[in-house]
Structures are given as C-alpha cells and as structure tokens.
C-alpha cells in the first residue's frame, strides 16, 4: 500500500497514529505530497479528484481517500478493533467526527492566514472557525470525559491529533482554558509512543 503523506496534515497524522498503534507502519510506503486549494502542487489529483490527502493506494482496489474511510479500511484489514462494537461504536464515530471537524476548521484557519492573499483575508471568518473549535472542545469537556477514560479507539486518536494540530498551528490560542479534564487527558495522550513518533515539526 502507498499512502500519500504530509506530516503536517492532521488527517494524515491520524492514519499514521493508527499504523503506529497497530505496528503496521512497515506495511505502507509513504509518498510525499503537498499543495493547497490554490495550487495543487504534488497532491494526488489523479487518485483523489478532490485533491486532498491522505489517499491510500491499494493493489486490490481503487485508491481510498478521506481519513475516516482509510482508518476504517485499515482497522478492518489489520483487525485492530479501534472501532468497537455497538453501542460504544456510535460514541466513537461521533467523537471522531467532532475531532475531525476541529481539525478541518483549524486547517481552514491556516489556509486563510497563510494561503489566501492578504487583501482577501477575513479575520471575521477566521474567528468564526475558532468559535466552532471552541464550542466543540467545550462539548467534549462536558460530554465525553468518560469515553476518553475507556479503551483506545479512533475517536480518541482523532481527538489527540486535533489537539496536537491546535498546539502546532495555533499555539497563541488557549484552548485549554477552563477545560481541566481535557487538558489532563491530552497531557497523558500526547506521550503515547505513536503520538511522539508522528509529531510534526515546524518548517
């Protein structure tokens, strides 16, 4: 399998954390890819018409894209059990979707501030994205603490990656604030070997 990869992408990192947690990193060849909506660069537009990464090229079928699709495929292929049976499955999927939404909003903030021409940037739009992130983090603090204390699943991995991306790209924002449970959880989760191994470095 070949994974189109950029270490700074939270969605790529989510896949990489899964591979590290399952000891399957050596089963995937990493293919560097970079670009943005204004310049696709080396993004695999021939394999993912949306021009996004991650994209997982398989020998036995078409290329998979969208991190949730790829993670479900790898979880099934590797028998990892990171998507537990129902009823816990639904909590895992909602937490994963919420965490991915945080990552998506943070990526849009990054694009607005560093890709769009300065004259076209909208600080109000950036703050609207942050409002979504802030609201989602508060919901997780209020509703998901018990789930975070349970067995490792893809909801937890997606959340860990999202929080790591906030620290990586928005270090001036205080997401911790009045969220002691989430802050404590992140302090421990960030030390997992799979998270340390996939930590992006500022270019």
How do residues 108-164 score in pLDDT, each as one tens digit? 999 999 888 888 889 999 999 999 999 999 999 999 999 999 999 999 999 999 999
Res 203: pLDDT: 60
Q: Which fold has domain 2-78?
A: Glutaredoxin (3.40.30)
Which residues make up the CATH 1.20.1050.10 domain(s) of the chain?
Answer: 88-193
Which CATH number is correct for 88-193, 1.20.1050.10, 3.90.79.10, 2.40.10.220, 3.30.10.20? 1.20.1050.10
If we measure between CA atoms, which residue out of 179, 194, 15, 11 comes closest to residue 99?
11
Q: Is the pLDDT of residue 89 over 80?
A: yes
pTM of the model: 0.95
How do residues 35-79 score in pLDDT, each as one tens digit? 888 888 898 899 999 999 999 999 889 999 999 999 999 999 999
SS3 101: helix
Which residues make up the CATH 3.40.30.10 domain(s) of the chain?
Answer: 2-78
* Alpha-carbon span 57 to 110, nearest angstrom: 27
Q: CB–CB of 64/15 below 8 Å?
A: no
């Amino acid at each position: 399998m070949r994974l189109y990869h950029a270490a700074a992408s939270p969605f790529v990192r989510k896949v990489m954390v899964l591979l590290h947690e399952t000891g399957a990193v050596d089963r995937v060849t990493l293919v560097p890819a970079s670009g943005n909506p204004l310049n696709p660069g080396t993004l695999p537009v021939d394999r993912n018409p949306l021009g996004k990464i991650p994209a997982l090229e398989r020998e036995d079928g078409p290329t998979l894209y969208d991190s949730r699709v790829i993670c479900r495929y790898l979880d099934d292929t590797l028998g990892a059990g990171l998507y537990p049976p129902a009823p816990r499955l639904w909590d895992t999927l909602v937490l994963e979707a919420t965490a991915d939404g945080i990552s998506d909003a943070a990526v849009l903030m990054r694009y607005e501030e560093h890709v769009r021409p300065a004259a076209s940037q909208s600080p109000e739009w950036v703050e609207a994205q942050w409002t979504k992130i802030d609201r989602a983090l508060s919901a997780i603090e209020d509703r998901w603490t018990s789930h975070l204390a349970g067995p490792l699943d893809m909801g937890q991995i997606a959340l860990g990656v999202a929080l790591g991306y906030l620290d990586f790209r928005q270090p001036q924002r205080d997401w911790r604030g009045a969220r002691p449970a989430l802050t404590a959880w992140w302090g421990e989760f960030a030390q997992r070997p799979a998270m340390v191994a996939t930590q992006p470095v500022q270019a």
